[in-house]
A = this chain, B = another copy of it.
Amino acid sequence: MSPQIFRHASHNIKLSVAPKRSYAKVVNAPAAQKLKVNADRLCRRSVETQWHHLGQDGRDWFKDQVQSLGAKTYTVNKTGSQFATFDGENSGLPPIAMGSYLDSVATGGKFDGPLGVIGALEAFKSMKEHGIKTYAPIALINWTNEEGARFFPPLGSSVVYAGEKDVSAAFQSKANDGSGETTGAALESIGYVGDGPNTFQEWPISAHFEIHVEQQRRLEEAGKSVGWVEGWQGIDYYEMTFTGVDGHANTYDMRGRRDSLIGASNVMLDLQHLALAHGGITTVTNIQSGPIGACNIQSWTKVVFCVANVSNERLAAMGQEILARAEAEAKQSGLGYSVENVIDFPAGKFWPEAVDCVRRACGDRGIGADTWTVHDSSMTTRLCPTAMVFARAKDGVSHNPKEWTSKEDCAESALVLGRAVLNYDQLLREKSA
C-alpha cells in the first residue's frame, strides 16, 4: 500500500467560515425553481444495472449518454475517469461539475456510486428539457475507483486530481488481493486509459456537487428524503504487520511459540472495545497471513483496519491507544511489529457557500448531516467549492446487495443536485455582474 497518501491532508483543506445570513429566508435561484426531473427515466437505469468495479459496461454507457447529450468535450484520463463538458453562456468560466462514480464494490448494490452519476445525468437532461441554459459550463464526471474495492487507495483518481498523489503512482497502484494486478493494467484491459486531464491544474472546475446515498439512518429517522452534507468524519487506515517464528503446526510446543496470527487476533478484538470506548468506528478490512500451508505456525500476519471518528482529537487518541496496545501485545507475545498509517484523512467541512446551495435546494424535504466516510467530493473540496446531496437509504445499508433508495428519493436527490448547481450558477452569474 502506498504510504501516507492522505497524511497531513488537513493542512490542505480550505475551510470557509459559514456566512452570517438567515438561511430560512433564502430561496432557490429562478432557474432552480423551474427544474423538474423525470423519476421514471432516472430509476429505470438505477434499478436495471449494477456495474462492476473498473468495468467497461458502465463507462461505455456513460460515454454514450454524454455524447448523445451533445457534450462539447469528452475525455478519459490516465486513471480512467471520464469528463464531459457542456457549454454555458460564459464559456470562459471553468465548469460546475456534477461528479460521482459508476464502479461499485463487489458486494454492493445499485445505488452507492451509480446514483451519483445517473442522478447527475438526469439533472442535466432535465435542465435541457426545461430550456434551462446555465451561465457557467457544466461538467459531468465519472470518477474511477472511489471505493478502493479492487485497488488501493480509495478515491484512486480524485486523489490525483487533487494533487495528493502522482498519476503514475495511481496508475501502478496494486490490487488489494495481493495478486499484483494494477489499476493501470485493469484499465488497459477495458480500453479506458486516456490522455485527458489528470489534475485540477490541467482542468479546473468552478465547483463540484455530488449525490450519494446516506449509508446511515438519520434521514430515515427524520422522515426526510434528502440531506445537505456539511462534512465528513475523520478516517485513518493502518496496516499492521506482526512477525513471529516459523514452526511445525503439530509438533511445536504451544508454550514457546511466537504465532503472529494469535497476536493479531488479540489486537483485532481490542480494537473493537477501544473504538466503542472512544465513540468511534473501526473495521478490520483485510487480513493476510502466512506461510500458506497445512502444517505451519503463522509467522506473518498483516491486518489493515480503519478507525473513524467525527472528532479529529478523538480520532488521534483512538489511533494512539490502538498502536500502543498493539505494540504491547507484540512485546508480550515476542512478535515483531510494524505499523504504517496508510491513510490519514481528518474530519472536515465542505464549503459553506456550496452547502448552502444544496440546503436551499432541499428546502423542508431535507436536513443537514455529515457523511461518515469520504468521497471524491472530499478531494475536490480541497480545490474548489464542493458540497454533497444525500439520498435516504433504507436501513442505512450499503456495500450490500440490499442497499435501497426509493424511486421518489432518487428523483428528489437528482432534483436537489440540479437545483444546487443552478443555485451555484446563479452565484457565479451575480459575481460576474
A297 contacts the other chain (Cβ, under 8 Å)? yes
Which B residues lie within 8 Å of A233 (CB)? 250
Which B residues lie within 8 Å of A373 (CB)? 248, 250-251, 295
A283 to B251, CA, bound (A): 10
What's the minimum C-beta distance from A88 to chain B, rounded to whole angstroms? Answer: 35
Which of the candidate stretches A164-172, A265-273, A351-359, A424-432 sits at the interface with the other chain? A265-273
Cβ of B247 and Cβ of A177 under 8 Å apart? no
Cβ of A295 and Cβ of B250 under 8 Å apart? no
Mask, A123-150, CB within 8 Å of B = 1, is 0000000000000000000000001111
8 Å CB contact of A399 from B262, B276, B297, B374: B297
What's the minimum C-beta distance from A288 to chain B, rounded to whole angstroms? Answer: 8
Which B residues lie within 8 Å of A289 (CB)? 286-287
Task: Assess A295 versus B259: contact at CB under 8 Å? Given A250-B281, A269-B265.
Answer: no
Task: Assess A294 versus B249: contact at CB under 8 Å? Given A254-B276, A269-B266.
Answer: no
8 Å CB contact of A248 from B148, B259, B275, B398: B398
A259 to B283, CA, bound (A): 9
Which B residues lie within 8 Å of A292 (CB)? 106, 150, 176-177, 286
Q: Who on chain B is nearest to A232 by CB?
A: B250
A91 contacts the other chain (Cβ, under 8 Å)? no
Q: Who on chain B is nearest to A148 by CB?
A: B294
A22 contacts the other chain (Cβ, under 8 Å)? no
Q: Identify which of residues 366-416 in chain A touch chain B, using a CB-to-CB cut-off of 8 Å.
A: 371-374, 396-401
A221 contacts the other chain (Cβ, under 8 Å)? no
A305 to B30, CA, bound (A): 67
Which B residues lie within 8 Å of A282 (CB)? 254
Cβ of A254 and Cβ of B275 under 8 Å apart? yes
8 Å CB contact of A176 from B247, B293, B308: B293
Q: Identify which of residues 288-342 in chain A touch chain B, using a CB-to-CB cut-off of 8 Å.
A: 289, 291-299, 304, 306, 308
A153 contacts the other chain (Cβ, under 8 Å)? yes
A39 contacts the other chain (Cβ, under 8 Å)? no
Cβ of A105 and Cβ of B293 under 8 Å apart? yes
Cβ of A284 and Cβ of B296 under 8 Å apart? no
A106 to B299, CA, bound (A): 12
Cβ of A247 and Cβ of B293 under 8 Å apart? no
A153 to B294, CA, bound (A): 7
Could you tell me which A residues sit within 8 Å of B by CB distance?
105-107, 112, 147-150, 152-154, 176-177, 215-216, 233, 235, 237, 245-254, 259, 261-262, 265-266, 268-269, 272, 275-276, 281-287, 289, 291-299, 304, 306, 308, 371-374, 396-401
**7 additional contacts, CB 8 Å, given A147-B294, A253-B396?**
A105-B293, A107-B296, A149-B293, A153-B294, A154-B294, A250-B283, A252-B397
A-B interface, 10 closest residue pairs, ranked by CB to CB distance from nearest:
A148-B294, A249-B283, A250-B373, A215-B251, A246-B400, A251-B372, A107-B246, A265-B265, A149-B293, A248-B399
